[in-house]
């Protein structure tokens, strides 16, 4: 528990540095996007590659992959049915709602928390892989189909099947798995710069997160508030409970149960809002759910750690 709390303090201090930098104009919104892109396209792929190249794959892709996948499926189904039956949202809005209830913020918060609170950044690998290979392509494909249908055109097959391999984190994850499975030992001239670039991932992600908290849009209180709060509750309460139930079902160890529940308690990823903006659907819901979920996740993750740690 002491190590976990120390990890939260470490993460909190770096996020606070980002907030202060934004408050005093040291970094603006454009700078925030640049820092976030450095973490997403350079730091995180390098970190995942190095971590997975040396990881115990039986641990990484063992029961936690089943729990992660199962909890996502449960939340997607619940959110889809609620938004369709209760609020009668159009299909494209339900896609965004389903992602908000299940798609964890693996880059900005997941990797730092896995590293500093759980002690192993590789624990995020199955979740990231599942999201970027399955959940995100599925959501984007449904949105593309909806947009193409409204425009009276057909969706290209290559655009659909190539989505997973166009994500930098997927590339880093897959390369790390290839190195691990083939037993290749990376020579120092390759490993050293990868480790150096990987060291960018966590501080850049946390700084960008803190800047975004200070400069991001303020949430509103309007007719969509019940939907927003329901999706936030599904993400911060429902998904950890689903993960805990699945972990108990398979007889997971206390350490693994803590890990999968902490990861499930992460807020929805910021790129869900980016996707909503790109497709011009449910943008207010995505914005507000993302911000309220991010603020609420602090308490959710702490509570999970206190109960299971």
Please check whether residue 200 is in contact with residue 206, taking contact to mean a CB–CB distance below 8 angstroms: no
State both tokens at 187: 């020579």
Angle at 284 between CA 280 and CA 285, to 5 degrees: 105
Return d(Cα 105, Cα 205) in angstroms, integer.
11
Most confident of 21-30, 98-107, 147-156, 168-177: 21-30
The CA dihedral of 83, 87, 88, 93, to the nearest 10 degrees, is -50
Q: Identify the burial level of 152 via C-beta atoms within 10 angstroms of its C-beta, where 0-12 means exposed, 13-18 middle and 19 or more buried.
A: exposed
Sequence ranges of the domains in the chain: 1-308
What pLDDT does residue 202 have?
Answer: 81
pLDDT band at residue 83 under the 50/70/90 scheme? very high
Select 1-308's CATH number: 1.10.510.10, 1.20.1530.20, 3.60.21.10, 3.30.43.10.
1.20.1530.20
State both tokens at 301: 């993750």
Map residue 104 onto helix, strand or coil.
strand
Please check whether residue 105 is in contact with residue 270, taking contact to mean a CB–CB distance below 8 angstroms: yes
Residue 261 DSSP label: H
Return d(Cα 274, Cα 271) in angstroms, integer.
5
Higher pLDDT, residue 234 or 222: 234
Greatest pairwise CA separation for the chain in angstroms: 58
Residue 112 DSSP label: H
Rounded mean pLDDT of 86-112?
Answer: 88
Higher pLDDT, residue 186 or 283: 186
pLDDT band at residue 154 under the 50/70/90 scheme? low
What pLDDT does residue 217 have?
Answer: 64
The CA dihedral of 190, 193, 197, 198, to the nearest 10 degrees, is 60
Residues 208-221 have pLDDT tens digits of: 878 877 887 666 66
């Amino acid at each position: 528990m002491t190590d976990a709390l120390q990890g939260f303090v470490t993460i909190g201090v770096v996020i606070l540095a980002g907030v202060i930098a934004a408050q005093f104009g040291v970094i603006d919104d454009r700078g925030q996007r640049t820092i976030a892109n450095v973490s997403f396209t350079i730091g995180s792929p390098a970190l995942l590659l190095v971590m997975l190249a040396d990881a115990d794959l039986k641990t990484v892709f063992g029961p936690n992959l089943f729990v992660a996948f199962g909890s996502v499926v449960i939340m997607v189904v619940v959110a889809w049915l609620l938004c369709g039956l209760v609020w009668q949202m159009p299909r494209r809005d339900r896609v965004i709602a389903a992602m908000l209830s299940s798609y964890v913020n693996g880059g900005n918060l997941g990797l730092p928390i896995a590293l500093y609170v759980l002690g192993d950044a590789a624990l995020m690998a199955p979740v990231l892989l599942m999201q970027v290979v399955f959940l995100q392509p599925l959501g984007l494909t449904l949105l593309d189909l909806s947009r193409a249908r409204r425009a009276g055109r057909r969706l290209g097959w290559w655009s659909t099947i190539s989505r997973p391999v166009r994500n930098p984190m997927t590339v880093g994850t897959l390369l790390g798995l290839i190195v691990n499975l083939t037993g290749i030992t990376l020579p120092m001239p390759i490993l050293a710069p990868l480790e150096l670039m990987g060291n960018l991932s966590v501080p850049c992600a946390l700084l960008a997160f803190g800047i975004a908290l200070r400069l991001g849009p303020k949430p509103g209180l309007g007719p969509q508030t019940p939907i927003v709060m329901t999706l936030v509750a599904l993400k911060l309460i429902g998904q950890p409970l689903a993960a805990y139930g699945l972990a108990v079902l398979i007889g997971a160890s206390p350490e693994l149960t803590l890990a999968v529940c902490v990861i499930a308690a992460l807020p929805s990823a910021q790129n869900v809002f980016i996707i909503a903006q790109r497709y011009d659907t449910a943008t207010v819901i995505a914005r507000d759910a993302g911000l309220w979920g991010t603020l609420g996740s602090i308490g959710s993750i702490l509570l999970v750690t206190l109960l299971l740690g």
